[in-house]
């Protein structure tokens, strides 16, 4: 086991970043606000890998999260003085360059931290040979044992490229408690803790559907997991910080961006249907009972690619004859193009109201979007086709912003390679390189959605109300698939929710999902169901990452038993 400090049999792991662009001051807030053993930062959303890949293409010395380096400039000495290890995936697509930058920064401050590099995720140079095509970037999701080896070797700062988000927490747990590959339940428990922490303040009330009940959310605190030797934990936050940690806030994060009840990772497949939550005091939620299974034989690979060029213009239509005005603009815009781009869409948002008391409330929005492999097809000529209509189209025409040039479009997809393919290595501070072997036991992944929910019996009198009257929701994306987690807050309402939410119901409530594959998974211990709508998302959609789909679903009206109100 490593010298990772801990409070007896408890390892305190905090988070200070849920995405590239999160609150800059969070690192100092976490270091000064309370006791910690390890501070993690997650900077790598799928689209971030595309952004960083484009950065490195322009400048080979970039490709990492520069805000992390700036945070260390202000806080490295503080972390070293307090004995807090820092573990972050901020290396992005160029973690070696970030390690070099950290050492240069530290030397300039007269510091000598031990910095370790976890590498091997970058499969870009081997992509074609591995059957992954010719992407801009191909990065495998590495597990936690490399991070653990770095900490066991005494690293003060561990920099990784693409690892699973949960690995940032699982790795310190392995190093502290000595878990091996066979300790599947402990690894699964730590994976759940990592999943709760990975998105920062989403675990402490951020983006919560019942936000009005959570007190002061002006500046929610970042979460902390008190991890124990068996993999169980208590999720909490530093004293005096904003937000709240409740069973509801933790449930919301647990059902965020997941598929069915088997949550696969490179080290363990976590059974989400075994997770149990319990309020353990103010701002303390205990997570227990988590079971693990052997990981799948393949690991996921994030594939980023440039997908031509895009442009969009949004114009405002006010008052009367909205549909006729939109049709006139469509016809004129098309006539003004010398050639149509490969993709051309018009989306009319009828957000106007009749007899409106303000101009904004009387207005609708029409967005024209184009994509093409040739930049010229959606460049200035595209914008000019809208500008030229300023004095010769429908009455009251104006745009929400000046039309501009084309911007590069990207797409993120997933691939899979055998666990043995990534050359998972740790480069310790003294230059020693250690290879991390793949798991010796794997198991093919089989979907687990749970038995069909029995009907709740005679519900008695019902009222037609928004689903969100009783149910919370959180949604997001997995590539082009929308993920939605729904839950209720008491046992009596769960049979109603579990029987209500079926693929057909989802398609009825979300007409955009009509004709798309829908998967529903039931998680009774969490009083939750998860929904995956395949192919709902993508560039050009109003909400391309599906962040608001859950709130849309909550706003839809269903029959709610009066006995539950």
Report pLDDT digits (tens) over 97-109: 999 999 999 999 9
Distance separating alpha carbons of residues 422 and 415, to the nearest angstrom: 13
pLDDT of residue 538: 75
Contact indicator for 144, 193 with CB cutoff of 8 Å = no
In the predicted structure, residue 240 carries a pLDDT above the cut 70: yes
Report pLDDT digits (tens) over 122-142: 999 999 999 999 999 999 999
pLDDT of residue 1: 43
The one-character DSSP state at 5 is: -
pLDDT band at 5, cuts 50/70/90? Answer: low
> Can you give the three-state secondary structure of 306-369, one letter per residue?
EEEEEEEEEEEEECCCHHHHHHHHHHHHHHHCCCCCCEEEEEEECCCCCCCCCCHHHEEEEEEE
pLDDT of residue 46: 86
List the domain boundaries for the chain: 11-297+419-435, 303-411, 462-564
The size of the chain, in residues, is: 565
Q: Exposure pattern of 196-214 as b/e (b: 16+ CB <10 Å)? A: bbbbbbbbbbbbbbeeeeb
Contact indicator for 88, 68 with CB cutoff of 8 Å = yes
Q: Mean pLDDT over residues 354-376, rounded?
A: 96
What is the DSSP secondary-structure string of 474-509?
Answer: EEEEETTEEEEEEE-SSGGGHHHHHHH--HHHHHHH
- Ranges 3-7, 424-428, 498-502: which has the least confidence: 3-7
pLDDT of residue 137: 96
pLDDT mean across residues, the chain:
95
- Ranges 48-52, 198-202, 407-411, 526-530: which has the least confidence: 407-411
Q: Mean pLDDT over residues 316-328, rounded?
A: 98
In the predicted structure, residue 7 carries a pLDDT above the cut 60: no
pLDDT of residue 145: 98
292 bridge partner residues: 270
Report pLDDT digits (tens) over 475-513: 999 989 999 999 999 999 999 999 999 999 999 999 999
Report pLDDT digits (tens) over 35-77: 999 999 999 988 899 999 999 999 999 999 999 999 999 999 9
In the predicted structure, residue 2 carries a pLDDT above the cut 50: no
Q: Which two tokens stand for residue 118?
A: 């976890």
Distance separating alpha carbons of residues 183 and 513, to the nearest angstrom: 40
pLDDT band at 540, cuts 50/70/90? Answer: low
- Ranges 73-87, 96-110, 140-154, 538-552: which has the least confidence: 538-552
Q: Mean pLDDT over residues 373-381, rounded?
A: 93
CA distances from 196 to 12, 169, 370, 502 (A): 14, 10, 38, 26
CATH topology of domain 303-411: Alpha-Beta Plaits (3.30.70)
Q: Mean pLDDT over residues 75-104, rounded?
A: 98
Q: Mean pLDDT over residues 220-229, rounded?
A: 98
């Amino acid at each position: 086991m490593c010298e990772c400090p801990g409070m007896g049999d408890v390892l305190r792991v905090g988070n200070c970043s849920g995405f590239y662009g999160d609150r800059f001051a969070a690192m100092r807030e976490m270091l000064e606000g309370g006791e910690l053993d390890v501070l993690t930062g997650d900077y790598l959303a799928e689209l971030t890998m595309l952004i960083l890949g484009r950065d490195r293409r322009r400048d080979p010395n970039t490709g990492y999260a520069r805000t992390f380096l700036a945070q260390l400039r202000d806080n490295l000495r503080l972390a070293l003085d307090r004995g807090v290890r820092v573990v972050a995936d901020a290396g992005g697509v160029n973690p070696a360059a970030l390690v070099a930058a950290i050492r240069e920064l530290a030397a300039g401050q007269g510091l000598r931290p031990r910095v370790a590099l976890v590498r091997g995720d970058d499969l870009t140079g081997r992509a074609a040979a591995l059957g992954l095509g010719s992407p801009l970037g191909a990065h495998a999701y590495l597990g936690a044992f490399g991070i653990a080896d770095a900490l066991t070797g005494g690293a003060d700062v561990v920099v990784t490229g693409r690892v699973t988000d949960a690995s940032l927490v699982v790795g310190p747990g392995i190093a502290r408690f000595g878990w091996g590959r066979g300790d599947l339940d402990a690894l699964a428990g730590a994976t759940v803790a990592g999943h709760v922490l990975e998105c920062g303040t989403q675990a402490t009330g951020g983006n919560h559907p019942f936000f009005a009940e959570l007190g002061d959310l002006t500046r929610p605190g970042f979460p902390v997991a008190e991890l124990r030797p068996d993999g169980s934990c208590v999720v909490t936050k530093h004293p005096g910080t904003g937000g709240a940690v409740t069973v509801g806030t933790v449930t919301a994060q647990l059902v965020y961006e997941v598929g069915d009840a088997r949550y696969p990772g490179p080290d363990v497949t976590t059974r989400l249907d075994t997770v149990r939550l319990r309020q353990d005091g103010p701002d303390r939620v205990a997570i227990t009972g988590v079971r693990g299974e052997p990981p799948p034989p393949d690991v996921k690979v994030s594939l980023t690619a440039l997908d031509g060029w895009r442009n969009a213009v949004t114009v405002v239509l006010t008052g009367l004859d909205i549909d006729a005005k939109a049709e006139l603009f469509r016809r004129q815009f098309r006539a003004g193009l010398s050639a149509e781009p490969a993709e051309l869409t018009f989306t009319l948002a009828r957000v106007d109201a009749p007899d409106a008391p303000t101009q904004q409330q009387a207005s609708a929005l029409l967005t024209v979007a184009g994509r093409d492999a040739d930049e010229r097809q959606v460049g200035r000529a595209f914008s000019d086709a809208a500008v030229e209509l300023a004095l010769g189209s429908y009455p009251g025409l104006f745009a929400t912003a000046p039309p501009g040039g084309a911007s590069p479009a990207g797409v993120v997809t997933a691939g899979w390679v055998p666990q043995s393919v990534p050359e998972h290595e740790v480069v310790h501070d003294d230059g020693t390189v250690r290879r991390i072997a793949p798991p010796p036991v794997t198991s093919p992944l089989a979907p687990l959605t749970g038995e069909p929910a029995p009907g709740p019996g005679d519900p008695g009198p019902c009222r037609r109300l928004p689903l969100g009257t009783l149910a919370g929701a959180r949604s997001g994306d997995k590539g082009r698939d929308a993920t939605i987690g729904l839950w209720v807050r008491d046992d009596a309402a769960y049979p109603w929710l579990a029987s209500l939410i079926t693929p057909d119901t989802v398609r009825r409530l979300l007409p955009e999902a009509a004709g798309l594959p829908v998967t529903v998974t039931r998680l009774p211990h969490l009083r939750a169901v998860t929904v995956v709508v395949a192919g709902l998302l993508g560039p050009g959609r109003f909400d391309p990452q599906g962040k608001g789909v859950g709130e849309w679903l909550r706003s839809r009206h269903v029959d709610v038993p009066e006995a539950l109100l």
